[in-house]
């Protein structure tokens, strides 16, 4: 069995590496590396947006919520859905702006201080998000190879994968890897859900085995607890730099708007399926080791509740999704250090070659910082909400104001970013 899992993971890793190396030939300038030469079509944008959004926060943190509380876990996903409704109108504006990073927008609309404070907030939030992808990936490797790879060793290995994949070709590498990963994850998740549901006795089996609260809108959560899941997620979605960088990378404003339509549909379907699989898992595996570590319910269901090949493919897709999200959230702050600090203040006349070298170095350094956090944090759900809250408090309000309000002053923006970051982090 382990040989099958190892083979599937090996094929996935080799495929992703091949995609990265293939895109490397097209990377010659700063724009090629940071925004894929502004050439991404809508089809590629859909899958890279899906892959960057649905990672450990949904697959592990959201699944843990669903295992414990049932379909009320969709409050966490719902924040993103609400955000997406607004993003449909924001996307063309973002592409028209045609910069490289969110701090570019902050300086253009406010001032240089807003740019620098924005970089600091993004570094804290995005390395935290990357860190729990490493935790999730380490858990997967340990689950597959329990005698050979500990969760801690798994985090080191995943960090190595992510740093290498991200550094090779930048946005072009990340985006086209996401197409492969997105297709694999979509097919396997949609195939797994009905199989596991049948195995659990269908909807009647779920209702018979679970408390009624698991099927209610709030479940056993209070309204305030529901908002605590929904609001940070929605605000992160609205201000998410990784998302805006994809829009900056689009071929056109029309491609950006079309991509949002596909992203909305894909996100609602996949996040609902993830919660469904976790709820089914709580029926199939109500006790034992997974009860103590409910965040692992989806990979556990893949290894214990499905035919070997089908389970291996689901586990491989799960692993690839985590790699993809980590790639996106590691690449994004690296672009801030390069574009907003190095090229803006330290070396304005840097050649494209030097910028590419520094970009890859920043990816490696931030990867090490994310790994450090991953080694000192255990709760993915808490780390998820911590990262989302930093971003929601510090950046989302001033980003939205930059697009839609001329009344917000530079001083107000600076105080908002600084206070939001300080209060959340310290």
Question: pLDDT tens-digit profile of 315-357?
Answer: 888 888 888 888 888 988 998 898 888 888 888 888 878 888 8
The confidence score (pLDDT) of residue 114 equals 92
DSSP, residue by residue, 139-194:
HHHHHHSTTT--HHHHHHHHHHHHHHHHHHHHHHHHHHHHHHHHHHHHHHHHHHHH
Closest CA to 274 of 79, 57, 48: 57
Q: Residue 1: pLDDT band by 50, 70, 90 thresholds?
A: low
- Grouping H, G, I as helix, E, B as strand and the rest as coil, residue 242 is helix
Q: What is the pTM of this model?
A: 0.83
Output the domain CATH number for residue 89.
1.20.1730.10
Read off the pLDDT of each residue in 227-232 and give the average, rounded to a whole number: 86
81: number of Cβ within 10 Å: 18
DSSP string, 327-377: HHHHHHHHHIIIIIIIIIII-TT--HHHHHHHHHHHHHHHHHHHHHHHTT-
**223 vs 37, higher pLDDT:** 223
- The answer to whether residue 155 scores a pLDDT higher than 90 is yes
Q: For 177-190, what is each residue's pLDDT tens digit?
A: 778 888 888 899 99
Q: Which of 78-87, 249-258, 391-400 has the lowest mean pLDDT?
A: 249-258
pLDDT of residue 382: 76
Provide the number of structural domains found in the chain.
1
> HSE of 255 in the Cβ direction (CA atoms, 13 Å)?
19
Nearest alpha carbon to residue 165 among 332, 368, 363: 363
Average pLDDT of the chain to the nearest whole number: 85
User: Token pair for residue 47?
Assistant: 């899958």
Q: Can you tell me the mean pLDDT for 254-270?
A: 87
Instruction: Give the residue numbers spanning the domain of 244.
Output: 2-425
| SS3 state at 40 | strand
pLDDT per position as a tens digit, 280-302: 999 999 887 788 888 889 988 98
Can you give the pLDDT at residue 188? 92
What pLDDT was estimated at residue 99?
Answer: 62
**What is the Cα–Cα distance from 174 to 425, expressed in whole angstroms?**
29
Burial class for 292, CB neighbours closer than 10 Å (0-12, 13-18, 19+): exposed
**What is the reported pLDDT for 108?**
85
């Amino acid at each position: 069995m382990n040989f099958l899992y190892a083979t599937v993971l090996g094929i996935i890793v080799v495929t992703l590496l091949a995609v990265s190396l293939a895109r490397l030939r097209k990377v010659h300038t700063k724009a090629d590396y940071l925004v894929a030469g502004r050439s991404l079509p809508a089809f590629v944008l859909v899958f890279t947006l899906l892959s960057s959004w649905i990672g450990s926060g949904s697959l592990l943190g959201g699944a843990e919520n669903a295992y414990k509380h049932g379909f009320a876990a969709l409050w966490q996903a719902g924040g993103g859905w609400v955000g997406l409704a607004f993003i449909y109108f924001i996307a063309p504006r973002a592409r028209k702006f045609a910069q490289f990073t969110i701090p570019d927008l902050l300086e253009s609309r406010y001032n240089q201080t807003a740019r620098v404070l924005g970089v600091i907030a993004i570094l804290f939030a995005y390395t935290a998000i990357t860190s729990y992808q490493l935790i999730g990936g380490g858990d997967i490797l340990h689950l597959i190879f329990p005698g050979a790879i500990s969760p801690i060793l798994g985090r080191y290995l995943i960090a190595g994968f992510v740093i290498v994949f991200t550094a090779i070709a930048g946005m072009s590498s990340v985006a086209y890897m996401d197409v492969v990963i997105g297709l694999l994850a979509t097919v396997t998740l949609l195939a797994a859900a009905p199989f596991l549901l049948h195995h659990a006795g269908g909807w009647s089996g779920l209702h018979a085995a679970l408390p009624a609260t698991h099927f209610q809108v709030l479940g056993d959560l209070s309204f305030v607890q529901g908002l605590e899941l929904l609001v940070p997620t929605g605000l992160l979605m609205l201000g998410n730099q990784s998302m805006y960088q994809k829009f900056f990378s689009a071929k056109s404003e029309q491609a950006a708007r079309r991509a949002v339509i596909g992203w909305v549909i894909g996100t609602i379907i996949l996040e609902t399926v993830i919660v469904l699989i976790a709820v089914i898992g709580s029926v199939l595996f109500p006790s034992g080791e997974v009860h103590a570590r409910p965040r692992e319910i989806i990979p556990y269901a893949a290894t214990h509740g499905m035919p070997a090949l089908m389970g291996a493919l689901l586990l491989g897709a799960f692993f690839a999704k985590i790699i993809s999200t980590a790639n996106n959230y590691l690449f994004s702050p690296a672009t801030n250090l390069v574009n907003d600090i190095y090229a803006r203040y330290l070396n304005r006349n840097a050649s494209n070659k030097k910028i590419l070298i520094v970009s890859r170095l920043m990816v490696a350094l931030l990867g090490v910082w994310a790994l450090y956090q991953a080694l000192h944090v255990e709760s993915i759900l808490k780390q998820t909400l911590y990262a989302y809250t930093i971003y929601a408090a510090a950046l989302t309000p001033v980003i939205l104001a930059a697009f839609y309000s001329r009344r917000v002053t530079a001083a107000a923006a600076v105080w908002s970013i600084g206070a939001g970051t300080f209060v959340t982090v310290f």
